[in-house]
Chains A and B, each alone.
Chain A
Amino acid sequence: MYLGVDIGSSSSKVALLSGEKKLLSTKVVNLGTGTKGVQTALDELRAEVGIPAEQILYTVATGYGRLLYKGADKQLTEITCHAKGISYLMSHVRTIVDIGGQDSKVIRIDDSGKVVNFAMNEKCAAGTGRFLEVMARVLGCKIEELSELAAQSTQDVAISSVCTVFAESEVISQLSQGAHPNDVACGALRAVAKRVAGLCSRVGVVEQIAMSGGVALNSAMVDILAAELGYPVTPAPNAQAAGAVGAAVLARELYEKGMRQQA
């Protein structure tokens, strides 16, 4: 069996793959690097699948905390692992849009899930989950609720500021002038979609397009991004665990490659 471990800043994910490349289980724990998150996730995994440690032939670690994880045979970036994971879960996908809490990425892949090109935005809050956090706070709702609000939007309310700080004051001003929270929520999602669409253009979009990362759980976000790109977008199932899944798939590839080289 092969283990993929994805240690992010705010959550830890693990995935277990069989020798026949079957996904046995995935676990997500909302504790990130520097916490007991990974250990908890592994314990949960073992409790469910009941495998002894020796049966794990190869472990790949990815994510922000990959460099500190001692149990890995190899560390690979979340770009490489997400690509592999999504490709495993959705074989027809060629472009992945990943909008995380702190950053956003667009990755183009080939039919084997190998990365062909990528672009990232990790400096600016606009176009990431952080922007939506700020918006949700102003609207007095949870970030997950933005989707429901946006789905009921009836009017276009544009949030034009590119700076999250300016956008906050822009939204407060719109609300005080009578804009409906549903419309503002929709505007917030559209602002993120526009930013991400810019990244997409730089990389070049090839169908089919999948969305992963925490923000993909937001169904309205998926629709709004599709409208912005002019292409259909499918949320990846088990999107949060995609990195760990990819890491596990790569663990198997690397182990088998190692075996072939020894032979």
Chain B
Amino acid sequence: MNSANAIIESLCEKAAHPARTVMESCKETGKAAVGCFPIYTPEELVYAAGFLPVGMWGGNTEIKLADRYLQGFCCSIMRTNIEFGMRGVYGKLKAVLLPTLCDTLKCVCENWKVAVPKVPLIPVVYPQNRTLPSGEVYLREELERIRTELSRISGEEMTQSHIEAAFALYENYRRAMRAFCEAASTHPKTINAKTRHLMIKAGYFLDKADYTLQISALTEYLNQLPEEPCAMRVVATGLLSEPVGLLDILAEHDIAIVADDLAQESRQFRTPARETGDAISRMVWRTADMRGCPFLFEPEKTRGEMLIDLVRAHRADAVIAFQMKFCDPEEFDYPIYKAELEEAGIPLLYLEVEQQMDSFNQSRTRIESLSEMLI
């Protein structure tokens, strides 16, 4: 138990201080960092190039400089990233990767080149027709292009064995994360809503090799502990379950997140790779196999079904939608899965979030009302 607590404390600390953690990771590994914008990037290639991939999921800061490029009705994660970029917070990054998965990302791609000229940007243009043969061929070529770009920046050739090793490491990481989420689901007191988020977030600032060892060790400790009850079990959906102040409110009321459909969390690791083929093919196929993500075209729109399955599998009482204000893809999905959840009789709480939220009174009322409704 002490060892579990030690890991929890350490990872919480690391997740709470991204800049410091990235600096420490770079020092420990001797690697330079490359930033990875949301939602998906080929991190394995960054790793294979000898860089440390780090997440860029915004943060809570006052927006002043970014207004030069972006109107106010823009996703706060992107505004923050441009703001940090302009302020030099990302100055140590050797490059950033940016996937053009939504209209805002496309514009930020262009604006970054002007606003943050010192940090080279490598766009990643994922295909939306990802299951068509022509889409798979295209993505393969796009990944090869990125491989070339990264090699240029690192000054070294990225060999096939580098890529295979990185891919194997990342598949290990994903397996470990899925196992951690299962263990967290049955230990909602030890891994409360805030802890769960910070455990997962820490991985964005550490070398995955090191991080995977820690999270696997924690999972093993958890699985030795008896299962824990909690007052209310919820499934979280959306981009990310932040600001952390919201999670404090959940934890205060013993409301646990027992499963998630969050871009920053499970969507990164819930889809396993196919068993055979070379690494790049398997990366292409993983993209083709992903389901229930608002950023990846899917006419069947199985997200609602998936949420219902998650609720049932984890004996959840409700779904909480952490709706990032101004996120168009998420906002389009909401009416569809709302209707499906309503039909299935599953309560859904809609929380509008922005990264710059400082007052949580209103969110508190909503969360408490949900809890009062169900308990």
Chain A–chain B contact at Cβ < 8 A: yes
Within the complex, which residue of B361, B366, B372 is in contact with A76, where a contact is CB–CB below 8 Å?
Answer: B372
By Cβ-Cβ distance, the 9 closest A-B pairs, closest first, are A79-B369, A80-B372, A122-B362, A115-B373, A77-B369, A77-B368, A77-B365, A76-B372, A80-B369
CA gap between A78 and B362 in the complex, in Å: 11
A229: interface (CB < 8 Å): no
Query: Smallest Cβ distance from A147 to chain B, in angstroms?
Result: 28
**Chain B residue contacts of A180, Cβ below 8 A:** none
Beyond A79-B372, A115-B372, 20 additional contacts (C-beta under 8 Å) are A76-B368, A77-B365, A77-B368, A77-B369, A77-B372, A78-B365, A79-B365, A79-B369, A80-B368, A80-B372, A80-B373, A103-B362, A117-B347, A118-B369, A118-B373, A119-B350, A120-B362, A120-B365, A122-B362, A123-B362
Q: Write the chain B residue with the least CB distance to A123.
A: B352
- B369 in contact with A115 (CB, 8 Å): yes
B interface, how many residues as a size bin?
10 to 19
- A120 in contact with B366 (CB, 8 Å): yes
Query: Smallest Cβ distance from B12 to chain A, in angstroms?
Result: 25
Chain A interface secondary structure, helix, strand, loop or mixed? mixed
Q: Write the chain B residue with the least CB distance to A116.
A: B373
CA gap between A132 and B72 in the complex, in Å: 25
Query: Smallest Cβ distance from A227 to chain B, in angstroms?
Result: 26
CA gap between A76 and B369 in the complex, in Å: 8
Number of A residues whose C-beta is below 8 Å from B? 16
**Chain A residue contacts of B368, Cβ below 8 A:** 76-77, 80
CA gap between A119 and B350 in the complex, in Å: 8
A69: interface (CB < 8 Å): no
Q: Which residues of A contact B (CB under 8 A)?
A: 64, 76-80, 103, 114-120, 122-123
Q: Of residues 332 to 375 in B, which have CB atoms within 8 Å of A's CB atoms?
A: 347, 350, 352, 361-362, 365-366, 368-369, 372-373
**Chain B residue contacts of A118, Cβ below 8 A:** 369, 373
Query: Smallest Cβ distance from A115 to chain B, in angstroms?
Result: 4
**Chain B residue contacts of A64, Cβ below 8 A:** 361
Query: Smallest Cβ distance from A170 to chain B, in angstroms?
Result: 20
Q: Write the chain A residue with the least CB distance to B325.
A: A123
Query: Smallest Cβ distance from A185 to chain B, in angstroms?
Result: 29
**Chain B residue contacts of A114, Cβ below 8 A:** 373
Query: Smallest Cβ distance from A205 to chain B, in angstroms?
Result: 14
Q: Write the chain B residue with the least CB distance to A115.
A: B373
